[in-house]
Amino acid sequence: MDHQLKHLTNRQFDRYCTLVYSECGIKLNEEKRALLNARIAKRLRSLNVSPDRYYDQVLQDPEEMARFIDAVSTNHTYFFRESNSFKYVQANRPEIWCAACSSGEEPYSLAAHCLDLGGSPSILATDISDTCLNKARLGIYADQCVKHIPAPILKTYFQKGLNGWTGTVRVRSRLRQLVTFKKFNLLKDRLPDETFDVIFCRNVMIYFDSATKEQVVARLVSVLKPNGYFIIGGAESLNGLKHELRYIEPSVYLKKGA
């Protein structure tokens, strides 16, 4: 039987929303029904299963769970996005965590920024999406993805694709070696052993409710050094949340010194 997904029923949609929330804290509302529909339709066709059977399979198979979370959590980003906050990254404070790095544009941008300052950063870049992390590790992007990169940085740290790679650029090894990519669930996974001078967690908490935001912020801030900066997306705010950070300017917070 060929399962063509027209739409999820209310019951199915609610079950999937609950699953997404419990696994990664993303709160899907009615406006996201079409998105969820589209994201899982491909797997339903590939496996030739119904939405209910697929739900059971996701619960039973860790690899399918990873594919499912991958599909519903992938976000759009670009190089040097909201780069005004990069001014809080200093050459002598090089330990950085990009806690929702998507396909790698943010950590590579930060690596280039730090090298231009004369620093040698150590950047941990994490995301929940295997697809995004694989792309990030490869470091190859379409030409249109690098249009926000300042020309001197593009020339210094990126290599233009030739022959079969025409229309792409690759991050040079001197940048790639500064970034360590790892899979990480902001809600559930064990925190890194090291502490950080700056933590970026941008444009992911817009999908969280207040309780989840508080939980994620508390976890991340616990590995932020005293007088370290916590930087969120321009469309995000910590207003109304309990936290130990001091507001500096929109999207930028400081952890008070010990």
Residues of the chain with CATH 3.40.50.150: 83-255
Question: What is the CATH topology of the domain spanning 83-255?
Answer: Rossmann fold (3.40.50)
What pTM was computed for the model? 0.82
| Domain 10-73, architecture per CATH | Orthogonal Bundle (1.10)
Interatomic CA distance for residues 205 and 66, integer angstroms: 20
Residues lower than pLDDT 70 in the chain: 1-6, 74-76, 258
Helix or strand holding residue 237 (H, E): none
Q: Are 235 and 203 in contact (CB under 8 A)?
A: yes
pLDDT value of residue 4: 52
Task: Return the pLDDT at 6.
Answer: 56
**Residues labelled catalytic:** 39, 127
| pLDDT tens digits, one per residue of 225-250 | 999 999 998 888 898 899 989 999 99
User: What are the residue ranges of CATH 1.10.155.10 in the chain?
Assistant: 10-73
**DSSP assignment string, 162-229:** -GGGTTEEEE-HHHHTTEEEEE--TTTSPPPSS-EEEEEE-SSGGGS-HHHHHHHHHHHHTTEEEEEE
Question: What is d(CA 196, CA 223) in angstroms, rounded to the nearest whole number?
Answer: 6
